[in-house]
């Protein structure tokens, strides 16, 4: 018999125990993998610990592919945002500087930054007045902003998953979209093209994984479906923000397609359209009319939503509401910024108009009393988006004091994303 203090155990393992052990092992492995994937996804999505702290972005961005086209002479990427601006943003984010770090965090926390984003393309996008009916209108605008958001995230983080997501969204529409219909068709095309083309420009010239056949599909969509809707601006009676947003889309397509003729045509249309949107006393007793529209005072007053007293900086849509006014000013600045990147300065000729408009509307947005002569003493809606791009040029580059605009930016930063604009605090602050 064994010693009384010794216990003899049967070390044999039954088949049932083996199965249970295997199940436990598999469960542990799956759990570890799930945690690893979750951590990796969180690192890809956030790239930031908390606002104000240094962020783990790469020191430098991707290698630029074809920085200047040999025929058109266009700098790439060069639609609204340049490589130098993105590298400036990267440095400020890495240092934890504000407002860049908070703007970056706002972007990656937005739904637009999700790697689970699924595009919703349609063959026919039908958009009536105020997008009623809305058959693909909201979905397309949101997809376009998501594509641009992922393009920015690719450039800043270096994570290829973001570039692939931007490509996925663009290609989904490029393989599907055939036409726009109904009253809002031109502005819908303008809204969506502005963000789609900006995303495509950034991916094409910084990411080496976009297949050539997919690039060709994007070019075809821009040239054959979007461009015919935006090339010549809106109808003579359309609101100024319409024309300017549409022209923003046109100049973006021009740069992406290396079409110098289209670029020059769009600049000339901007030059003729801006004076009909922002008033200066040098225009005369009442504003100039848009090309092709009546210049009779009664017709101009009606077009300006009943405004009869004109001061420097008031716009054709001020008495409509501040939101559409902000859209018009943002679109005008985006066009000027693209031109600036391409070596054409149209900011200077527009300086008196844009600076006056920025300060006038910033003051109103901050709560200054509305005089009785202005829109009956009452204004509607919120002034959004905040004018980061115009402020950056006139104040940061040119040193022009814009105290009310600065106060508005400080109050409302960071700029959000919607329709045809996105994340300008990140890229232009």
pLDDT at 21 over 70: no
pLDDT tier at 56 (50, 70, 90 boundaries)?
confident
Instruction: Give me the pLDDT at residue 275, please.
Output: 96
Grade residue 1 by pLDDT with cuts at 50, 70 and 90.
very low
Bridge pairing between strands 78-79 and 81-82: antiparallel
User: Which of 51-60, 191-200, 384-393 is the least confident region?
Assistant: 51-60
Strands 421-422, 417-418: pairing is antiparallel
The CATH class that applies to domain 48-428 reads mainly alpha
pTM > 0.85: yes
The predicted model gives 99-124 an average pLDDT of 96
Tokens of 398: 């040119």
pLDDT band, very low/low/confident/very high, at 234 (cuts 50, 70, 90): confident
Task: Give the confidence band of 381 by pLDDT, cuts at 50, 70, 90.
Answer: confident
**Taking the CA of residue 132 as centre, how many other CA atoms within 13 Å lie in the half-sphere pointing to its CB?**
2
pLDDT > 50? residue 6: no
Write the pLDDT tens digit of every residue in 260-317.
Answer: 999 999 999 999 999 999 999 999 999 999 988 999 999 999 999 999 999 999 999 9
Q: What is the pLDDT of residue 207?
A: 97
Q: What is the arithmetic mean of pLDDT over 126-143?
A: 96
- Supply the pLDDT for residue 11: 42
Flag whether pLDDT at 8 surpasses 60.
no
Q: What is the pLDDT of residues 220-229, one digit of tens each?
A: 999 999 999 9
Task: Give, in degrees to the nearest 5, the angle at Cα 84 between 428 and 243.
Answer: 50
Between 38-47, 91-100, 105-114, 159-168, the lowest mean confidence (pLDDT) is in 38-47
- pLDDT tens-digit series, residues 396-417: 999 999 999 999 999 999 999 9
**Contact between 83 and 132 (Cβ < 8 Å):** no
Instruction: Please compute the mean of the pLDDT values over residues 146-152 and round it to a whole number.
Output: 98
Tokens of 328: 């018009």
Distance CA 85, CA 231 (A): 28
- 90 touches 48 (CB < 8 A): no
* Separation between Cα atoms, residue 288 and residue 295, nearest integer Å: 7
Which residue would you say has higher pLDDT here, 338 or 66? 338
Reply yes or no on whether the pLDDT at 37 is more than 50. no
As a whole number of angstroms, the distance between CA 13 and CA 36 comes to 32
pLDDT at 232: 84
């Amino acid at each position: 018999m064994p010693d009384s203090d010794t216990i003899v155990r049967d070390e044999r393992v039954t088949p049932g125990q083996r199965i249970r052990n295997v199940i436990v092992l598999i469960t542990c492995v799956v759990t570890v993998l799930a945690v690893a994937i979750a951590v990796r996804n969180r690192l890809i999505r956030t790239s930031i610990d908390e606002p104000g702290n240094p962020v783990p972005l790469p020191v430098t961005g991707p290698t630029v592919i074809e920085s200047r086209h040999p025929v058109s002479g266009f700098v790439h990427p060069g639609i609204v945002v340049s490589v130098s601006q993105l590298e400036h943003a990267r440095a400020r984010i890495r240092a934890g500087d504000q407002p860049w770090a908070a703007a970056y965090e706002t972007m990656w926390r937005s739904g637009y930054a999700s790697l689970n984003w699924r595009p919703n393309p349609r063959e026919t996008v039908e958009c009536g007045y105020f997008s009623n009916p809305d058959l693909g209108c909201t979905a397309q605008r949101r997809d376009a902003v998501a594509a641009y958001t992922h393009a920015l995230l690719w450039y800043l983080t270096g994570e290829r998953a973001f570039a692939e997501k931007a490509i996925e969204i663009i290609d989904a529409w490029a393989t599907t979209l055939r036409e726009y219909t109904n009253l809002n068709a031109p502005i819908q095309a303008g809204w969506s093209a502005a963000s789609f083309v900006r995303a495509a420009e950034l991916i094409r010239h910084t990411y080496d994984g976009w297949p050539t056949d997919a690039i060709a599909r994007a070019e075809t969509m821009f040239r054959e479906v979007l461009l015919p809707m935006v090339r010549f601006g809106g109808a003579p009676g359309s609101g100024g923000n319409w024309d300017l947003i549409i022209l923003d889309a046109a100049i973006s397509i021009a740069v992406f397609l290396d079409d110098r003729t289209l670029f020059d045509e769009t600049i000339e249309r901007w030059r003729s359209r801006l004076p009909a949107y922002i008033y200066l006393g040098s225009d005369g007793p009442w504003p100039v009319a848009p090309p092709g529209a009546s210049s009779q005072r009664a017709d101009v007053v009606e077009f300006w939503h009943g405004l009869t007293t004109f001061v420097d900086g008031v716009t054709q849509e001020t008495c409509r509401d501040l939101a559409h006014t902000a859209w018009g000013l943002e679109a005008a600045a985006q066009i000027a910024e693209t031109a600036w990147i391409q070596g054409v300065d149209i900011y200077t000729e527009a300086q008196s108009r844009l600076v006056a408009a920025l300060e006038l509307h910033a003051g109103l947005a901050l709560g200054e009393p509305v005089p009785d002569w202005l829109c009956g003493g009452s204004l509607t809606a919120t002034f959004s988006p905040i004018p980061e791009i115009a402020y950056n040029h006139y104040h940061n580059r040119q040193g022009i004091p814009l105290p009310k605009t600065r106060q508005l930016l400080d109050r409302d930063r960071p700029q959000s994303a919607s329709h045809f604009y996105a994340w300008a605090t990140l890229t232009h602050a």
